Amino acid sequence: MKIGVIGTGNMARFLLESVNKMGKLDGEIHSVFGRNVELGKILEEQYDTAFYQDFKAFIHSPIDIVVEVATIDVAIMHMKEVLESKKDIIISSVGAFKDIRFLKEMKEIARSHSKHIYLPSGAIGGLDLLQSANSLDGLKEVSITTRKSPESLGLKSIGEMEVLFDGSALDAIDQFPKNVNVALLLSIAGIGAKKTRVRVIADPEVNRNTHKIEAEGDFGKMNLTIENTPMPTNPKTSYLAALSILSTLQNKERSISI
């Protein structure tokens, strides 16, 4: 399997290190697309990959699947072209699907070209349970409470815990696009962004990003708490989020997928 990566940041470097250096996948990251020429050239030399600034050249390079680890805007800009080029895509910037019309459009394009859009589980778990619970529309309530340090939320230091947001996942992604992608992912797996409740708390006492997921429906009740260790190279990103992308690539090639 030959992989193309959109992005040149910490996530891209993690994937290049895991795949091209450590051999954690039966394949290679053949191509990287980005705007930072200096950083792109460094990655090209360190990880034996090809760096592209021109997207058409990138998408027509010998790659089988594309992994987006850039930004919401970049994901929206290039997703359609990837699918129309008959390549699967893994999306890390789930906030791209805040617009339900865009989500439906991408679903239809993927279906018409017999391609897939993969959404890694990111920094949370329990998505398989929510999908199962809602298979007969039996999921009634879903909420997620995200607790992070002020620094992880891009804030200055504060003296005590503060609730920054309490509302729907649809509204949360506008205010915290780089921090609550997990909420939108949860809503896609469950009852939708309008019905999924989100609370975002800044807490100076925590050193791990914590997500508490609660759900209720015909299946019963679920309470799941995840305490995530940040990536050493980027405190705003969960290490588990990076691992989930690698796991998605690994499971794509396995005869038995879980």
pLDDT band at 156 (very low <50, low <70, confident <90, very high): confident
The yes-or-no verdict on residue 245 having pLDDT over 70 is yes
**Cβ(69)–Cβ(11) under 8 Å?**
yes
pLDDT at 238: 84
Give the separation between CA 110 and CA 184, rounded to whole angstroms: 20
2-119 folds as Rossmann fold (3.40.50)
Q: Which of 168, 202, 166 has its CA nearest to residue 184?
A: 168
Which pLDDT belongs to residue 179? 64
Find the catalytic residue in 60, 78, 113, 211: 211
Asked if 83 and 66 count as a contact pair (C-beta separation under 8 A), the reply is no
Residues of the chain with CATH 3.40.50.720: 2-119
Percentage of the chain exceeding pLDDT 70: 97
Catalytic residue at 78? Answer: no
Mean pLDDT of 240-246: 93
What would the pLDDT profile of 127-150 be if each residue is shown by its tens digit?
Answer: 999 999 999 999 999 999 999 888
Is 90 exceeded by the pLDDT of residue 81?
yes
Q: What pLDDT is attached to residue 118?
A: 96
pLDDT of residue 68: 98
pTM: 0.90
pLDDT digits (tens, 9 = 90+) for 157-197: 888 999 999 999 988 877 876 666 888 899 999 999 899 99
Superfamily for 127-229? Answer: Dihydrodipicolinate Reductase; domain 2 (3.30.360.10)
**pLDDT higher for 229 or 219?**
219
As a whole number of Å, the CA-based R_g of the chain is 18
Q: What is the pLDDT of residue 157?
A: 81
Q: What is the rounded average pLDDT of the residues 80-84?
A: 98
In 3D space, the residue among 183, 90, 96, 176 whose CA is nearest the CA of residue 142 turns out to be: 183
Q: What is the pLDDT of residues 9-19, one digit of tens each?
A: 999 999 999 99
DSSP-assigned letters across all residues of 244-257 = HHHHHHHHHT-SS-
Residues forming CATH 3.30.360.10 domain(s) in the chain? 127-229
Instruction: Say whether 52 sits in a helix, a strand or coil.
Output: strand
Is the per-residue pLDDT at 52 higher than 90?
A: yes
**Confidence at residue 161, expressed as pLDDT on a 0 to 100 scale:** 93
Confidence of residue 254 (pLDDT cuts 50, 70, 90): confident
Q: Look at residue 16 in the predicted model and tell me its pLDDT.
A: 98
